[in-house]
Structure 1
Amino acid sequence: MSNTDSFIEEVTEEVRRDRLYGYLKRYGWIAGLVIVLIVGAAAFNEYRNAQADAAAQALGDAMLAGLREDDEAAARAAALSTVEAGTAEGAAILAFLTAGVQADAEETAQAVETLNTVSNNADIPLIYRQVATFKALTLQADTLDIDARRAGFEALAVPGVSLRVVAEEQLALIDIESGNVDGAIERFRAILEDAEATTGLQRRALQAIVALGGSPSADEANE
């Protein structure tokens, strides 16, 4: 490489360095601001997570304190009713616990009302609302009109709903209640063949089929 080429390269490098320094002086504050925002966002997330953990722990402590309030279920239900949840998910869990204690105290109407506060709250995740609806329907087995219960469980027994198979089981029980034994057997057979059905649910379905005088498969029944 000649001295001329070397000199040109040095000059070019110096010009690049000067331009870089110029850009840093002019726009360096942007990089600084980005760094500050990143650090600030990370700190805020840590603070928010810590606050959420503290709130969840406080809610859990309050619910446990309510359950230890008294040996009487009614007293525990009353204690739980004074607990406040800071989040929609926390409110749903608190409602499930409260409704369970109310049901134990034979306060069925109050338990259903508590569950309805979850199922009718659009701010609560869908799965919680579906569980609340399911529990409320089962609690009203002796009080709610059979057609209303059937309609409620049919709304849950659709593809995409996590409670679909257990809702099908409830519909089979309603078939038995209404005298439609053949329909109940068919539903129980479908549960036996359903890939989403748990082992326990399939065992109950099999026992119900036998108790109703049917056979596990339609082919065996026809023979």
Structure 2
Amino acid sequence: MSETDSFIEEVSEEVRRDKLFGLMRKYGWIGIVAVLLVVGGAAYNEWRKATDMAAAQTLGDTLLRALELDGDAASAAALARINAVDGQSQGLVNMLVAAQKHAAGDDASAAKALKRVADDATQPGALRDLAQLKLVLLAGNDMSADERRSNLAGLAKAGGAYRLLAEEQLAMLDIDEGNTEAAIMRLKDIISDVDVTAGLRGRASQLIVVLGGEIDAS
């Protein structure tokens, strides 16, 4: 390589280097911002996870302390004062409040707590269904037969988390109305369902026998 060619190569290299440095000075901040965003995002996610875990632990400790108080009324009062950090956690708190209020003999307050969950569209469907089922059971004969049947029929829909328990209560309603044949048919459908639990199958089978029906051999 001649001295001229070597000189031209060195000049070209310097020009490329100057262009590179110029681009870095002009656009280098973009890379810095991108790195900061990645690092900051990871740090925020870790902080959020730690915060959520700490909040869940705090709520759990608070619930345990409330439930360990002497007397159902005292526990219910302590639970009612809890404000959970999110709506779903508050739904669980309200379910516990309802249980303690019922145990303390205050069914009116228990029903109010259950209704708050059942009417809250932000709660998971399974939790709302459970609250609605408990409302029907809590009301008993204080709720009209038509209203009970309507509520239970909604819970017994396909895919419902508590559909078989709702069907069991519908069978009991059939019995109350003197419709033994319908009750037996409903109970047989329950025991033949693939999702039936052993306890529910046992109750349904016993009730069929008591009503004078026969359990189909399987």
Q: TM-score scaled by structure 1?
A: 0.83
Equivalent position of 1:7 in the other structure = none
Give the letter aligned to residue 130 of structure 2: V
Equivalent residue, structure 2, for 1:4? none
Deviations 1:183-212 (CA, angstroms, capped at 9, x unpaired): 111111111111122222222211111111
Residue 59, structure 1, aligned to residue 59, structure 2: yes
- Displacement of 1:93: 1.1
The aligned runs of 1:152-163 (5 Å cut-off) are 152-163=151-162
Gaps of 5+ in 1: 1-9
Is the CA contact 2:88–2:122 (under 8 Å) kept in the aligned structure 1?
A: no
Distance 2:143 2:153 in 1: 15
Distance 2:20 2:156 in 1: 66
> 1:156 and 1:202 mapped to 2: Cα distance?
19
State the partner residue of 1:97.
96
**Is the 2:145–2:173 Cα contact (8 Å) retained in structure 1?**
yes
Deviations 1:10-29 (A, max 9, x none): 99xx7998887766555443
Structure 1, 125-134 or 92-101: larger mean CA deviation: 125-134
- C-alpha displacement at 1:112, in angstroms? 0.7
2:4 maps to which residue? none
Three-state SS of the structure 1 residue aligned to 2:61 is helix
Cα pair distance change 1:91/1:16, threshold 3 Å: same
**1:27 and 1:215, CA in 2 relative to 1: closer, same or farther beyond 3 A?**
farther
Q: Are 1:216 and 2:215 an aligned pair?
A: yes
The alignment status of 1:207 with 2:206, answered yes or no, reads yes
Matched, 1:150 2:141: no
1:109 alignment partner in structure 2: 108
Please tell me whether the aligned partners of residues 119 and 128 of structure 2 are also in contact (alpha carbons under 8 angstroms).
yes
**What TM-score do you get using the length of structure 2 for normalisation?**
0.85
> Is the CA contact (8 Å cut-off) linking 2:88 and 2:123 kept in structure 1?
yes
C-alpha distance in structure 1 between counterparts of 2:123 and 2:110, whole Å: 18
| 1:115 CA displacement | 0.6
Q: How far did residue 30 of structure 1 move?
A: 2.6
The 3-state SS of whatever aligns with 2:142 is coil
- Tell me the residue number matched to 2:82: 83
| Per-residue deviation, 1:81 | 1.4
Measured against aligned partners, the alpha-carbon deviations of 1:85-140 in whole angstroms (never above 9, x if no partner) come to 11112111111111111111111111011111111112222222111111111111
Contact 2:118 2:129 in 1 (8 A): yes
Deviation at 1:35, TM superposition (A): 2.2
CA distance in 2, matches of 1:155, 1:42: 44
For 2:161 and 2:22, how far apart are their aligned partners in 1?
61
Q: Which runs of 5 or more structure 2 residues have no equivalent in the other structure?
A: 1-8
CA offsets, 1:154-180, max 9 Å, x none?
011111221111111111111111111
Question: What secondary structure, in the 3-state scheme, does the structure 1 residue paired with 2:102 have?
Answer: helix
The Cα of 1:31 is off from its aligned counterpart by 3.0
Cα distance, 1:113–1:17 mapped onto 2, change above 3 Å: same
Q: Determine the structure 2 residue equivalent to 1:194.
A: 193
